[in-house]
Amino acid sequence: MKLCNAFFLLSMLCCAVTVAQNDSINRLGKVTIVADSYVRNNVVGQKVTLITGDNIVKNPTNLTETLRFNSVVAIRDYGNGGTSSARFRGTSAANTAVMWNGINVNAIGNGQTGLNSLSLNTADEIVIKSGGGSVKYGSGAIGGSIHANDNLYFHKHQNFQLFSSYGSFNTTSNFLKTNLGTEKWALKLGANFNKSDNDYDLIDERYKDANGNYLKNSNGDYENYGLNLSVGYQFTEGNTLSFYTTGFKGDRLFSGELQNPSAANEKYKDINQRNLLVWEVQKNQFSHVVKTAYLTQEYRYFKNKNSNSFDFGKSKRWLFNYDFKYHFNKKTTINTYVDIQNIEGDVSGVPNKKYREQYAFAFGFNSIINKQWKYNIESKKEFNSAFKVPTVFSLGSNYALNDNNEILLNISTNYRVPTLNDLHWPGQGNEDLIPENSKQIDAGYQYKNDWFTFKSTLFYMHVLDKIIWTPIGDINRPDVWTPINLNESIHKGAEFYASFCYPFSKYHSVDVATNYIYTVAKDTETNKELIFVPRHLFNATVNYQNNIFTAYVQNLSQSKVYTTEDNINTPGAVLNGFTVFNAGTGVSLLKKGTKSLHVILAVKNIFNQLYLYSISRPMPGRNYNLNINYKF
């Protein structure tokens, strides 16, 4: 802690010296502050895609749906509204970093982020970065990262958005977003509420009741609330102080499995709270960003929803980050930063609280050689109180062939340390685990003009000591799921993204966005494919709009996945591939100045397709919802 205080005081002094050099008050211009500007502006050699607020409201129920229909991220969940996690390129959920305003929010216990326990409907944007990022984002950023950003706007403005959706299974999703500001102050406030009985028919012809009716998804109710606040003050141009805070409270029941879904009786509660303070100073050739954050997470698992007895997990995390940049000129920059974290975890069944400290030091060099070529080199060393963590590096390059065509290359090493659950979970943990590490390369090509964008990436990843949970991991505990280090796994494939946006006239436009990924991920020892990894994943959205009418169609296609390490093609050991379509149509009832009112009727799974993401838990059949989106 003394070291933390020393770095904190040193960074404050550096910022103060820089501020003192500004002896005049400049006229403030229109400024936008993004807490995680790196992923927007400084990623070199890797593919980055953006999910805007307009795409988020097409799938308003939860983040799981938003990602499924707008990215190459594969999602594994345990029934609609249940536990859900994201996976890039055949890696695990713990190899995916989920970032909130630049802070890694993966759980201390399992190293994952439950997508249905995040309130991101009010986020200004969600950025998807494919490929490794451990130099910048730490443990777990192996397959890729998901970034939710809240933006602060320093100019005179006053904007409000009220969104409400109601549909099948008594499902409702609602949020209110407010943006206020002047040249000195900026405020963003968001609140959301989601609720569903989630009692849809399990449309599997093999299982019906005595009257020939489909069985119901039992014990699937969920309800959650979220509150987000961002506020910023601009002292002078280039000198801002920002505070971000968010809270989430969720209550959900865990739905049952076929053949007897009514037997389900489990309940789960989680409470998350995150706070982030950012001081950013830019003056002449110097840039300083100081961040300090405090995050808490808690869950309670009730095996019997009617009982007061529960298992729990709690964690607290404090972090401090100081990022310094020096611009030699407009083309060359050096960057160094220090990251310090203190972690505390407490899990029922584990005798004592677990503590972990980590200190990381990183260095980066960025250079623009000419109008065509730029590159960066980054390296980081982390010191962890529990493990010896490998030094990681990244080399990225963008080369523009002309104004429209660009070639990308990125080579990196990345890592993931075992989580507290991996090590200490009662009766199942493995304290002999060591950190995963990976070596990977991305080679990409991008084309862009005024109305068309195309991005492609070939990737190859070699993961050593990969951590997986398996029922055959410990001969002394047969049939007990335990974590082990695999010798090696190889992940290779290709990603593609294309978007088309063409205004046929002043009032008519069509836009199309598609994502496709081909992935082969294998355990090199057995030459078997890793579980729950689809070889093919494709989604597309086609949207038409004029000044009154709008209509869209969404498609999601996924190939089969294996659910066991031996890759047996038998029922229960494989989940079949599927194709699902959603559609929506709506009208604009008001469009005057900054005011607009849109009403949209959406149909999900319009062909009533049976599809599953986990064994014996079918997803909903055809269902409907009515959305009202009012901006003023």
H or E element: which one contains 611?
none
Measured CA to CA, the distance from residue 236 to residue 232 in angstroms comes to: 12
HEC-encoded secondary structure of 389-424: CCCEEEEEEEEECCCCEEEEEEEEEEEECCCHHHHH
Average pLDDT estimate for 407-431: 92
Q: 579: which residues sit within 8 A by CB, 6+ positions away?
A: 555, 556, 557, 609
Name the CA dihedral angle for 475, 477, 483, 484, rounded to a multiple of 10 degrees. -10
* Residue 348 CB-half CA count within 13 A: 10
Average pLDDT estimate for 107-122: 86
pLDDT band at 21 (very low <50, low <70, confident <90, very high): very low
Q: Please write the tens of the pLDDT for every residue from 232-280.
A: 999 999 999 999 999 999 999 999 888 888 888 999 999 999 999 999 9
Residue 591 one-letter amino acid: K
Distances from the Cα of 3 to the Cα of 8, 15, 103, 355, 357, angstroms = 9, 19, 21, 17, 12
Measured CA to CA, the distance from residue 329 to residue 338 in angstroms comes to: 23
Residue 368 one-letter amino acid: I
Task: Please state the φ and ψ torsions of residue 489, each to the nearest 5 degrees.
Answer: -140, 150
In the prediction, which pLDDT does 30 show?
63
Across 20-29, 419-428, 439-448, 585-594, least confident range? 20-29
> Over 50: is that where the pLDDT of 538 sits?
yes
Q: Whose CA is closest to 457, among 413, 492, 499? A: 492
Question: What average pLDDT does the chain have?
Answer: 90
In the prediction, which pLDDT does 345 show?
92
Residue 227 one-letter amino acid: L
Q: Whose CA is closest to 91, among 557, 519, 566, 518? A: 519
Q: Please write the tens of the pLDDT for every residue from 191-224.
A: 999 999 999 999 998 888 889 999 999 999 999 9
In the prediction, which pLDDT does 267 show?
95
Tokens coding 472:
């055959």
> Is the Cβ–Cβ distance between 83 and 216 less than 8 Å?
no
Average pLDDT estimate for 335-356: 91
Q: Enumerate the domain spans of the chain.
A: 2-631
Task: Please state the φ and ψ torsions of residue 330, each to the nearest 5 degrees.
Answer: -70, -10
User: What is the CATH T-level fold of the domain 2-631, as seen in this structure?
Assistant: Maltoporin; Chain A (2.40.170)
> What's the gap between Cα 171 and its chain centre?
23
Across 56-65, 298-307, 396-405, least confident range? 56-65
pLDDT band at 25 (very low <50, low <70, confident <90, very high): very low
> Over 60: is that where the pLDDT of 586 sits?
yes
Residue-wise DSSP of 195-214:
EE----B---TT-B-TTSPB
The structure's pTM equals 0.91
Residue count of the chain: 632
pLDDT band at 17 (very low <50, low <70, confident <90, very high): very low
Of all residues in the chain, the percent with pLDDT exceeding 90 is 71
Instruction: Assign 504 to helix, strand or coil.
Output: coil
457 vs 258, more confident = 457
In the prediction, which pLDDT does 122 show?
87
HEC-encoded secondary structure of 27-46: CCCCEEEECCHHHHHCCCCC
